[in-house]
Amino acid sequence: MKTQNLTSFSEFHLLGFSEDPELQLILFGLFLSIYLVTVLGNLLIILAVISDSHLHTPMYFFLSNLSFSDICFISTTVPKMIVGILTQNRAISYVGCLTQMSFYILFLCMDHMLLTVMGYDRFLAICYPLHYSITMNPCFSVSLLLVSFLVSILDSQTHNMIALQITCFKDVEFANFFCEPSQIFNHTCSDPFTNTILMYLFIFIFGFFPISWNLYSYYKILSSLLKVPSSGGRHKAFSTCGSHLSVVCLFYGTGIGVYFGSAVLQSPRKCMVASLMYTVVTPMLNPFIYSLRNRDMHSALTRFYRRTV
């Protein structure tokens, strides 16, 4: 496709999973089911935390906000994809593309920050239990949430301002089912080197430090657990952070696989499937991990169900 200036077109075209008409209904039902399960699962987590006084602790305060962020995160991509499958129209306007990218980065970064804050919460609870109630007071918990949101806004708007400087694209077809930042920056008419460096710089800043902190936190947590004399005490302590560790591994594992895999995989379809794991499957699995592996959450959901029935 020839290079086009923004004045000559007003939309981009996203890649679909299949052009086979017989698969469209199956794909529509599949992604609609995934979206509804994700929204309902995370909504149940939020309602259980709000309604159960046993869960009015910093850990579950952050968990409820993580569930809300996951609902918003999956809502930035999947509804548009479902509508595209149903209507066979995968076009997205220029403004809509930048809006989708902005909210995608916002809630992606919010997930990163909340997982980091939750790792810090578990680090204090297990390594410094005597200081935990004093340090993680309600005021400090809300402050951590606000800082996470402000950092996410900064990351999102910085990407948005960089994208707004682009006035010419060499192609309007994106090899993904949503407006991923790398797709926008790699389709510019100008040399994408500067934009690519900036993008990976932000990935390093907003990704490396949270990952490093989570690794350090769980290194200290495991070191502390090994010093616990009784096996029952170790099991009880680890059960409080096992769910969070599972979500951290799933979230960062799929995320790293997407960004490094996109540099290796030459097939757009394979890159799109990798992105699907990161943006759709991970938010869907989080409620199941927390409800099945966490005894407190399981008990709270059971009490919530009984009260509702």
Q: pLDDT tens digits for 264-308?
A: 555 566 667 777 877 888 888 888 887 766 677 777 777 777 777
Q: Name 4's Cβ contacts closer than 8 Å, sequence gap at least 6.
A: 168, 169, 170, 172
C-beta of residue 237 within 8 angstroms of C-beta of residue 228: yes
pLDDT at position 262: 55
Model-level pTM?
0.86
Examine the pLDDT at 11 and tell me if it is beyond 70. Answer: yes
Q: What is the mean pLDDT of residues 144-169?
A: 87
pLDDT at position 251: 76
pLDDT at position 48: 86
State the distance between the two ends of the chain, measured CA to CA, in whole angstroms: 58
Stronger pLDDT, 133 or 195, i.e. the higher one:
133
Q: Which two tokens stand for residue 50?
A: 């709000």
The string of pLDDT tens digits covering residues 34-52 is 999 999 999 988 988 888 8
C-beta of residue 121 within 8 angstroms of C-beta of residue 61: no
The string of pLDDT tens digits covering residues 89-114 is 888 888 888 899 999 999 988 998 99
Helix (H) or strand (E) holding 168: strand 168-169
pLDDT at position 233: 58
Q: Provide Rg for the chain, Cα atoms.
A: 21
> Which band of pLDDT confidence, cut at 50, 70 and 90, is reported for residue 5?
very low
Examine the pLDDT at 7 and tell me if it is beyond 50. Answer: no
Considering Cα of 150, then 154, then 160, then 165, what sign does the dihedral take?
positive
Tell me the β-bridge partners of 255: none
pLDDT at position 238: 66
Q: What is the mean pLDDT of residues 12-34?
A: 83
The string of pLDDT tens digits covering residues 55-84 is 888 988 998 999 999 999 999 999 998 988
Cα dihedral 130, 132, 137, 138 in deg (nearest 10): -140
The string of pLDDT tens digits covering residues 139-151 is 999 999 999 999 9
C-beta of residue 13 within 8 angstroms of C-beta of residue 83: no
C-beta of residue 250 within 8 angstroms of C-beta of residue 4: no
C-beta of residue 67 within 8 angstroms of C-beta of residue 284: no
pLDDT at position 71: 95
Examine the pLDDT at 207 and tell me if it is beyond 80. Answer: no
What is the CA angle 98-156-120, rounded to 5? 150
What is the CA angle 190-195-200, rounded to 5? 150
> Which band of pLDDT confidence, cut at 50, 70 and 90, is reported for residue 259?
low
CATH of domain 11-308: 1.20.1070.10
**For all residues of the chain together, what is the average pLDDT?**
80
